[in-house]
A and B are shown apart, each in its own frame.
Chain A
Amino acid sequence: MKTMAASENRLHALDAVRGFALLLGVAFHAALSFMPGWPPGIWAMNDNSPSQFLSDAAFVTHIFRMSLFFFIAGYFGRLLYQKLGASAFWANRGKRIAIPLIAGWVVLFPLISCIWTTGITKVFGGTMPPMPEMPKTPGAFPLTHLWFLYQLLLIYVAVIAGRSLFARLDPAQKLRNLVDKAVTGSLRVPIAVFTLGLPVASALMSLSFWFYWQGIPTPDQSLIPQIPASVGFGTAFVFGWLVNRSRDALSLIASRWFVHLMLGVIATGWLLHTMHASPMAQPGLTKTLFAMVFGVAVWGWVLGLTGAALRFLSNFSATRRYIADASYWIYLMHLPVVAALQVWVGHWPLHWSVKYPFILVASFAILFVSYHFLVRPTFIGQLLNGRKYRRNDGREPLPPGSTPSSPPPADTGNGAAVARLRGITKRFGAVTALNSIDIEVRPGELLAVLGPNGAGKSTAISLWLGLIEPDAGVVMLLGGEPQDIARRRGLGVMMQDVEMPKELHARELVALASSYYDNPLEIDETLRRAGISQFADRPYGKLSGGQKRQAQFAVAICGRPKVLFLDEPTVGLDVQAREALWKSIRALLADGCSIVLTTHYLEEAEALADRVAVVAKGRVIASGSVDEMRALVACRQISCESSLTAAEVRSWPGVIDVAFDERKLRITATDAEGVVRRLLASDARLARLEVRQAGLNEAFNELTREAA
């Protein structure tokens, strides 16, 4: 089961990757005036300080940046198609892709031509050389860097036509299920890097003139689809589309990010080495091998970078959101800006290591400023990104986003809970630790989580703390994901089985933990509240077991937590220390802190808890107030001296459990009156009869026994 929140977070990551691929294009083009050995006229400028390093760096980025873009485009393409249906999809793509292509070309082409003419005249010392004519082949057209929009439209047409064909040929979804299996299988092994590299490799091998540096030749000169670009970028798009179809592909990409990235890096290293030996492909083994390794490099980078983003950038960040939104405009408009700067600085007597950063910084400054004022709050932003932002705060979208990359999820659903597990399943290998459980913690309450060892209590806490991820379901902490560090600043935690550094004093441990929070308590106040002022200046290693737990409690409360997780906090404490800790806990509750407490001491739950959740075998078998728990099982304990045996009594209706100790029968019963009547009737010599309300202990035993 995929969850809404999880998939939305993944979209944040993929959006970031798309933005990265586009911005990388700016850096790539900004490097092109510094290429050593390029004949004058190929680019707008030939800088007087060429750089082999920039040439290599540009080659590396060029390997993957467009494939990465088309891969993400494929993923979002299917998402949009599923969401909108065919006609709305085409209307949307018309606005976002076709209009920017046409309008952008009309505005940009004259600008680009003008800058190119200026630059080339400068390169040739003031006289414009005769320009090579556009090739007189059918379909020839100078698409400029906007070719990617044209290519994208072509791919949309082809893929959606292919999709309808598939739907007709494969009504039972058998073939498509097979494809899904192939996608996940190839990512799991992981051989996708090699299999996906094959189509692009064979297209490249077939090229008669192939400069290694150019990678997949850019199809910017013609409206007729070019084979290598269509195969290379088409594969990327289709695989993105299939990844969106598949249930597990994204998780696999996320978990294999390092392997993929390393394959990409190693393949790239080999490519650089080979290219330096001979930059032009000669027919033969090296060309074939170069094409194959190139395919591996493309996909190593694409899957590695996407996976790394899914792994590390999946939470919402306002900065990344802004950059991702800006990237489309920036990429569309960057070429004249970058080229003009290149022409301007081209003859300056400065090293490339000064000029290149200057071009980058100046371009990005111009482009971001233009985005912020001309695009973000205007109809252009509405057209490009599907939403317009108010000028004043720059954050609130107006109206709500209609693209797959919608604004951050706020607390969805019931806003009253500070922490919630909803529909959570978590497996460790074959063991199901939690089986679709729902628990929530309300503001200002203490929830005691009870259960036998291995019931799943610690797993639940680990999920809330963001230490593990669920296999299914949504974990919510303070209105969002627990992985988000800003949310974790609202929690305090005291774990089991943690040893603090023994050289540090308790006061220093508190000071260190306090440095993680925005608005911590004064250190002395923390020490006082945790009752450890007397031994605050002794090394942690020299404290007794109980004092160590108290020091850990101080560490847990130092950040003024809104929600506090206490995992078996009073283990090893003597009676006074335990009373003191309970007092601190009550004071925190009085201040409005919510607390989740796991404990084996049932009297602790009875003394402190507002509510109890009983967990057994990975399920919540009961939850409610302490009184409700008792009422739920309505147990009473009957004890008496009798000649009846435990076995006899156990079979009676209304009897839950019978124990025999110190010559007394101890009966736990739901129907105490009935059992007493029968006891008196069955045994005339019955003596010392007592009936009392069962404690949580008995209630708890019965509940967990039922679950077992």
Chain B
Amino acid sequence: MNALALNSADTASAPRGSAMVAYFTETRYELVRMVRNPGVAVPVLAMPIALYALFALVIFGEAIDKDPNLGMFFFAAFSIMAVTMQALFGTGVTLALERDMGLLRLKRAQPAPPAAWVVAKIASGLMLAVLAYIPIVIVALTTGKLALEIGQVAAFSAALLVGSIPFCAMGLMVGSLASGTAAPGYALLIYLPGCYMSGMFFPLPKSMYWQTGIWPQFHVEQFAMHLAGITKYQYEPLSMAIATMLGYTVLFAGITIWRLSKKE
């Protein structure tokens, strides 16, 4: 009955293409699910653009017309919030919910490539990030509240997309540690302080500068400022921003892998 026992030669000769198919299919259906269940995504998508419109157009509209730097400041704050929040919630909360549903157990029992699910989650997080960002950039450019060259806008946007990766990893970490009901709470708990303490939303007093480096948001903003060549808001070297983002990604991803691979 050796035909029934997979020997090592079979193991080695298993077609490599099948893993790619699994990654692709998993990602495709993750996006299909997102599209079919817009109720979850719409509120988080609408909030950043609504807040941006309120601050940049209504409250500080005139001030921005006088000082374009202020326009840049608000654009950076709300676009970073839009992108990173989607990355965090888009990955983390669904991951936690599906763990509760027993889907992780099933995937681990099935021959699903271990990372396919995680990749699919990251893809949907990034997709949501892009969807949340596009309205902000359109409004900012069409209302003239953003004085950047088109190349700078492209560089800034690319930087945000890269910068959302550590937040995808953060989401996966939260989703792998917390239950479905607790995950949104924990995600907010570790996300919101960073928005304020990093100086993203309002300028910080000098006495608080020392702690800005703790928050991933700060480094994403610095990375984007460097890539777009906006010197006014550069506070740390580019290499430091990259290294910290990379470090956080490795840390969060490491905790996630450790947690998900733990046998029950």
Contacts and interface: CB of A to CB of B under 8 A. Distances in A.
Interface in A292-340: 311-312, 316-319
B10 to A, nearest CB: 7
B29 A508 contact: yes
A467 B109 contact: yes
Nearest to B23: A515
Contact of A559 (B15, B106, B111): B111
B249 to A, nearest CB: 13
A508 B32 contact: yes
A480 interface: yes
B109 A479 contact: no
Interface centre among A318, A415, A501 (most CB of B within 10 A): A501
A95 interface: no
A660 to B, nearest CB: 43
B188 interface: no
Contacts of A511: 25, 29
B183 to A, nearest CB: 16
Contact of A416 (B1, B7, B12, B113): B1
Contacts of B101: 498-500
A468 B4 contact: no
A559 B110 CA distance: 10
A318 B11 contact: yes
B263 A316 contact: no
A395 B4 contact: no
Nearest to A497: B102
B58 interface: no
A60 to B, nearest CB: 13
Interface in B3-44: 4-12, 14-15, 18, 21-22, 24-26, 29, 32-33, 36-37
B207 interface: no
A141 interface: no
Nearest to A558: B110
A504 interface: yes
A318 B263 contact: no
Interface string B63-75: 0000000000000
Given A478-B5, A501-B103, A516 B112 contact: yes
Interface residues of A, number: 57
Contact of A493 (B8, B21, B106, B113): B106
A489 B160 CA distance: 39
Contacts of A594: 4
Interface in A490-507: 490-491, 493, 495, 497-501, 503-504
A495 B263 contact: no
A467 B105 contact: yes
B261 A312 contact: yes
B15 A518 contact: yes
Given A316-B8, A508-B32, A518-B15, A488 B25 contact: no
Given A484-B11, A503-B33, A443 B6 contact: no
A408 interface: yes
A504 B263 contact: no
Interface string B240-264: 0000000000010011001001011
Contacts of B10: 486
Contacts of B36: 503, 539
A263 interface: no
Interface centre among B8, B18, B110, B251 (most CB of A within 10 A): B110
B102 A504 contact: no
A657 interface: no
A467 B108 contact: yes
Contact of A495 (B14, B21, B102): B102
B102 A487 contact: no
Contacts of B263: 467-469
Contact of A515 (B1, B7, B22): B22
A479 B24 CA distance: 30
A558 B246 CA distance: 40
A515 to B, nearest CB: 4
B105 A495 contact: yes
Interface string A594-624: 1000000000000000000000000000000
Given A493-B106, A500-B103, A501-B103, A443 B264 contact: no
A479 B11 CA distance: 11
Nearest to A312: B261
Contacts of A317: 11-12
A521 to B, nearest CB: 15
Contact of B8 (A408, A443, A488, A513): A408
Nearest to B37: A503
Nearest to A428: B264
A160 interface: no
Contacts of A499: 101-103
B2 interface: yes
A479 B6 contact: yes
15 contacts: A258-B254, A411-B2, A411-B5, A418-B4, A467-B263, A486-B6, A491-B111, A495-B105, A498-B106, A499-B101, A500-B101, A515-B18, A515-B22, A515-B26, A518-B15
Given A486-B10, A516-B18, 13 more contacts: A312-B261, A415-B1, A467-B105, A468-B264, A469-B263, A479-B4, A487-B6, A491-B109, A493-B110, A501-B103, A504-B33, A512-B26, A517-B111
Chain A to chain B: the 5 pairs with minimum beta-carbon distance, closest first: A479-B5, A515-B25, A499-B101, A318-B12, A498-B102
Interface of A: 257-258, 261-262, 311-312, 316-319, 395, 408, 410-411, 415-416, 418, 443, 462, 465-469, 478-480, 484-491, 493, 495, 497-501, 503-504, 508, 511-513, 515-518, 539, 559, 562, 565, 594
